[in-house]
Structure 1
Amino acid sequence: MSNHQNGRPSVTIIGGGASGVLLAAHLLRDPETDIRVTLVERRGEFGQGVAYSANQRDHKVNVPARGMSAFADDPEHFWRWLQTRGYPAARGSWVFVPRRLYGAYLEDVLRQAGQSKLGRLIVLSEEAVAVHEGKNGVETVLANGTSLISRTVVLAVGHETQPARGKGIAVRVGSERDTPLDPNAEVIILGSGLSMVDAWLSLADAEHQGTITVVSRNGLLPKGHRELSPISMDAADVPFGSSLPYFLRWFRDLADDIERDGGDWRSLVDGLRPFNQRIWQSWSTHTRRQFLRHLRPWWNIHRHRLPPELHERMDRAVARGQVQLVAGEFLDLERHGSGVRAFVRPRGTQERRIMDVARVYDCGGVSVDVSASSNPVVRELVANGLARPDVLHIGLDVDEHCAVVDADGKPSRHLLAVGPLTRGRFFEIEAVPDIRVQCAGIAKQILAQQ
């Protein structure tokens, strides 16, 4: 079998969410580039993925429109797209749009990317189940029994949702089991991050009046955005490779200095963003483990912030007592009559608190342990030694060029990964502003080899 179709170089992208669409768009951006890109997505919806498939109006992106262009070198691309569709421009591009609208933008970016030449882009609503690498190319096996042959395969499978906890008693928001509730019923939400906010918004949109208890290890809620400029930082100002305690003291001292001068900590967090991947890579494995264990929740609430209006609504719900925060450890769930009995240990105690509610929502975030992946391609690659988890098991092991590393430590010549699957090496690779830069680099690398 040939690695080309009619002599044309070819790439297969497995996954049609944001990462896959952004990579396809960068590969096809030059209308004169003669390359065939096949995008495979089992759900048949392209540009949606876990993040941008939310249908509720108030489920919004948590990055302002000015930062959500598909192309880092054309930062106004998304904003211009919004304007052509009559989006209100009164507040300028520092607005937070519904996630479903951003999903529509990605679909349009993909459509335009494939228009210049017939057959440059092929989209398949199929499930990829295996990848076999040969000397000159890669075979992607589909669930329907057919195969695709291409010179390069890129894994862009995105986030993977964990099964709901509590012996299957907890419910995922928006799932078939998320049936209408009595508006006065008491509920529990496990987790206090952005997924929790989605669950709370769904309940609020349904005019839910009952108490919503949010249980998480630290009882922390995401902070809100403000329209501020990031501080200007130089690499020489950042203590790369330091111990975590030293880095934390440096960060806090700098934040205190900024606030004493009338500034805001958000300017520091955003000013540090261009160096986040380098900071992560400068740390030892031990330091990275320490960060994930002790500081990641604190970092997430400051780094992954809410649109201002949503943060204000959440604050009001907490102030009036409808949303109650419990810092503690989730222990177990069991059926109790027509409802659920939850067992929680509040932080700093040995108490086993019992809470009887109508429903428990699991919003513990996305799965990051690829050794327990539900994706058949990832499972098969690891089982056959063509890939291996990174040392922290939060993604696949890849080299600095995103080549997948096999069980013997050898980077592949034809198999790459993009987006959240590469978080073990890059960590900050889950938001569009970071993924689009990665996709531009991978596209340049692939096109140079054709």
Structure 2
Amino acid sequence: MTSDNSRSPADVLIVGGGLSGTLLAVQLLRLPGQRRIVIVESRSELGRGEAYSATELGHTLNGNAARMSVDPDNAEDLTQWLGDYIAAGGWPESDEQHVPIAELFPPRGIFGLYVQQRLAEAQAIGAASGSCVAHVRGEVTDLQSDESGVRATLADGRAVSARFAVLATGMFAAARTPQRDSNALNAAAVDPWDVAAMTQLDRQGRVLIIGSGLTMVDAVVSLEQAGHRGPIDVFSRHGLLPHVRRQPPAWPDFLAADHSLRSTRQLVRALREQCRLAIEQGIDWQAPLDTVRVHIPRLWSQATDVQRRQFVRHVRPWWESHHHRSPPPSAKLIERLLQTGRLRVHAATLQGVEEAPPGQVQIRVRYRGEPASRVESGATLINSTGIQYDWRRVDRALPQRLLERGLIQPGPLALGIAADPGGAVLDAQGQVSAQLFAMGPPLRGMWWESTAVTDVALQAKALAARLVALQA
């Protein structure tokens, strides 16, 4: 990658070089025409971002290879690449999963290699027509926009100008993101993915984990790989764990046949009925649930704010635990620790982090059904509360300055930012920007499911086509 930015302005400036930004660059490079793309990313490598910078083999994708292609026109792309990679001697540990390649759950670090190879191939295609991508290492702290284009200011004072800019900032992991009103938890906590740091912990010490979703699963895997063998107590409001992801057979797409199902109540009732029918036939209940996934953007976008709030308040915890499922290798570890009693899950709400004696951490929690809170003590605390989607709470320069300037507004239910259906950002007055776009996790409020690989890949293809058309 080149970091030369002597030519200016670029055609497209991409803010963020993780999965979202890289897949957008791939699609832009593949399209006919000559264009210059600049990606501003603080990491030394493109294509990894927060999720795929993991180096531990135990931190795997939560979807199998057949579900995780970055090519929206070829669902077999990852399976094919992974087969070649394994045949060439990569990832010999894959044999331990004892399943066909399409059903493997690859380590996230290896998935990052796959994304990088697809970028390299796209660069070769783009070079034939005079297109190129430059990686500028740094952090965008401000953006300004006018009729001529956009100008990004970096933390070190450098500036990058372009005709269009795309916010591909990815996910703000709560454990790694400073937040305006809740930094005490992170100040006392250990990073869920930092195995090296966990090797320095008391191996028999009690670990307290806040949150019971997939980040918690990663944290437990990290602890196990670091050699921790003590008790682990997980606290979350509902006490729900992710189900294990299985490979169910195909099931009829009942939502495609009935568009009258619109409200949260109607959807839940119909889905329960479909799951009941599947179980009666001896078929995994995950089969009908998996048919819902493709309809979520439509259902969410056509719902009223009242219906969306009802879903978030009453259905979301169960949707997350049933739909965002754990990869089998991690699920086996969780089950083993539950059975031996080392891992316990509590339905309790975090009230705050307390001052503690040296070498200890203390939190105040209120258990479900109890009127008063109590203090729990341990040797280590881990924040596994997942992703912070409310940009108003993210204490970083770019989100705050964009909000202050009125260049963006919060998305529905304050999830991410608002945009039109094609990704053009809405400013504080609701005007559609002609220069500023967004994709991936920032559009959570628009589509609800806007973080999965397939979601991001489809958005990248559509947005690339839109930008090229505007460039013409």
Same fold at TM > 0.5: yes
Give TM-score scaled by structure 2 length. Answer: 0.89
| More helix as a share of residues | 2
Contact 1:169 1:334 in 2 (8 A): no
Instruction: Decide whether aligned partners of structure 1 residues 390 and 111 sit closer, same or farther in structure 2, where only a CA change above 3 A counts.
Output: same
- The answer as to whether partners of 1:239 and 1:247 remain within 8 angstroms in 2 is no
Query: C-alpha displacement at 1:119, in angstroms?
Result: 5.6
Does the 8 A contact of 2:361 with 2:377 survive in 1?
Answer: yes
Q: Where does 1:57-206 land on structure 2 (aligned, <5 Å)? A: 57-87=57-87, 91-116=100-125, 117=127, 120-162=132-174, 163=178, 165-166=184-185, 168-174=187-193, 180-206=200-226
Contact 2:9/2:162 (<8 A) preserved: no
TM-score, length of structure 1 as denominator length? 0.93
Look up the SS of the partner of 1:424 in the other structure: helix
Distance in 2 between residues matched to 1:205 and 1:35, nearest whole Å: 45
CA distance in 2, matches of 1:359, 1:6: 50
Comparing 366-375 with 150-159, greater Cα deviation is found at 366-375
Residue 90 of structure 2 corresponds to which residue in structure 1?
none
Query: Which residue pairs with 2:25 in the alignment?
Result: 24
Q: Is the counterpart of residue 382 in structure 1 residue 403 in structure 2?
A: yes
Deviation at residue 45 of structure 1 after TM alignment: 2.6
Give the CA deviation at 1:218.
Answer: 0.8
Task: Compute the displacement of 1:5 (Å).
Answer: 9.6
Structure 1 alignment gaps of length 5 or more: none
Q: Cα RMSD over matched residues?
A: 2.2
Deviation at 1:178, TM superposition (A): 5.0
Instruction: Give the drift of 1:406.
Output: 0.5
Structure 2: any 5+ residue segments left out of the alignment?
A: 88-93
The answer to whether the 8 Å contact 2:198/2:222 transfers is no
CA contact (8 A) 1:191 1:216 kept: yes
Quick one: which amino acid aligns to residue 17 of structure 1?
A: G
In the TM superposition, residue 199 of structure 1 has moved relative to its aligned partner by 0.8
| Residues 1:398 and 2:407 are matched in the alignment | no
Judged with a 3 Å threshold, the aligned counterparts in structure 2 of structure 1 residues 106 and 300 are, in CA distance, closer, same or farther, namely same
3-state SS, counterpart of residue 201 of structure 1: helix
Give SS of 1:78's match.
Answer: helix
Residue 253 of structure 1 corresponds to 273
**Secondary structure of the structure 2 residue equivalent to 1:267:** helix
- Equivalents in 2 of 1:140, 1:307: separation in Å? 39
Q: 1:11 is paired with a residue of what secondary structure?
A: strand
- Is 1:329 matched with 2:338? no
Contact 2:33 2:131 in 1 (8 A): no
Query: Using the alignment, how far apart are the partners of 2:86 and 2:187 within structure 1?
Result: 44
Residues in 1 aligned to 2:138 and 2:265: alpha-carbon distance in whole angstroms? 48
User: Aligned in 2, Cα 1:206/1:171: closer, same or farther, shift over 3 Å?
Assistant: closer
Q: CA deviation at 1:391?
A: 3.5
Q: 1:180 to 1:72 in 2, by over 3 A?
A: same
Kindly state the Cα deviation for residue 248 of structure 1 after the two structures are TM-superposed.
1.7
Q: Secondary structure at the match of 1:93?
A: helix
Length, aligned pairs only: 445
Counterpart pick for 1:291 among 278, 288, 311: 311
The 8 Å contact of residues 169 and 335 in structure 1, kept in 2 or not, is answered as: no
Task: Mark the CA change 1:143 to 1:168 in structure 2 (over 3 Å): closer, same or farther.
Answer: closer
CA distance in 2, matches of 1:215, 1:389: 29
